[in-house]
Amino acid sequence: MRYKYYLQLLVHTFEHPAASCSTISPLQCFGLLSSEFGFCHVCVAISPRALKLVHAAVKMPGIFNERSIPVIAALWTFTLVLIVRGTRTEGSGFIDWARLWVLFTRIDPYFFSALGIAAAVGLSVAGAAWGIFITGSSLLGAAVHTPRITSKNLISVIFCEAVAIYGVIIAIILSTKLSEVPRDPDTGAYHASTMMAGYAVFASGLTCGLANLVCGICVGVVGSACALADAANPTLFVKILVIEIFGSALGLFGVIVAIILSSNAVFEV
């Protein structure tokens, strides 16, 4: 895998600096490694003892190896068989879809609404934290050798934090949609419009949360590369910053769709 090659290259640059200085510098090696391990080069830059961790990571087996691939293939095949058998016509499949649909109709719509609000905030904050972890560790690691990059590259951390703000805004909007609606006194069930409103709030929160989760990771990786590129060549900062701006705009797509979905969510009798 690529990260093993980068780790071996990093170990070589530290153990044989004279032989490797003409081909690749430790800072350039940090850039290659940042997309795979945002924290590893920070450990190496701060403490020489972290070289032992690097050696251990090089020897660490990956998820996809000669033993795990047959198991993963067997599980994937078994899953496909379940899906095919479960989606056959009524009476001959593993899953009774009619009864399953009744189960979903009996779930409280306010549970779906609360789950959607939690997804909007939780996934957005997770994406922002992940992005800050990636770009922040790369920024600190590169700043050990080039302190000048610290101030202006903080904009990458701000972009990551904006992803969490998107989720908080959508969560506030969805919370204002909630209002108490009594059940039908004859059937004991909620009205169809109330159920639709619960599903709409859930879909809105999930859409925003997943979009911001991916957006946070994208901004974090690009921000990490921006910090390392700025440390190597200051003229590259503005060019890569444009790419980071486009990456941060991905979260706005989820916010827009979430607002449109939530506009149809009306809890009324």
* Cα 121 to Cα 212: distance, rounded to the nearest angstrom: 10
- Is the separation of the CB atoms in 186 and 99 below 8 Å? no
Q: In the chain, where are the structural domains located? A: 2-59, 68-100, 107-262
The pLDDT value recorded for residue 39 is 43
pTM as predicted: 0.64
pLDDT-derived band at 164, boundaries 50, 70, 90: very high
Token pair 């060549």: residue? 233
Q: What is the pLDDT of residues 98-146, one digit of tens each?
A: 666 666 667 788 888 899 999 999 999 999 999 999 988 888 888 888 8
> Which DSSP category does 81 fall into?
H
State the maximum Cα–Cα separation within the chain, in Å, rounded to a whole number. Answer: 85
Residues near 204 by beta carbon (within 8 Å), at least 6 away in sequence: 116, 120, 170, 174, 257, 258, 259, 261, 262, 265
Residue 257 has pLDDT above 90, yes or no: yes
pLDDT of 67-100, one tens digit each?
777 788 888 888 877 776 665 555 555 666 666 6
- Residue 259 clears pLDDT 70, i.e. is over it: yes
Three-state secondary structure call for residue 21: coil
Query: Nearest to residue 121, comparing CAs of 163, 178, 177?
Result: 163
Task: Assess contact for 42 and 65: CB atoms under 8 A.
Answer: no
Q: Which numeric CATH code is attached to 107-262?
A: 1.20.120.610
User: Range with the lowest mean pLDDT among 101-115, 116-130, 150-164, 233-247?
Assistant: 101-115
Query: Who has greater pLDDT, 244 or 34?
Result: 244
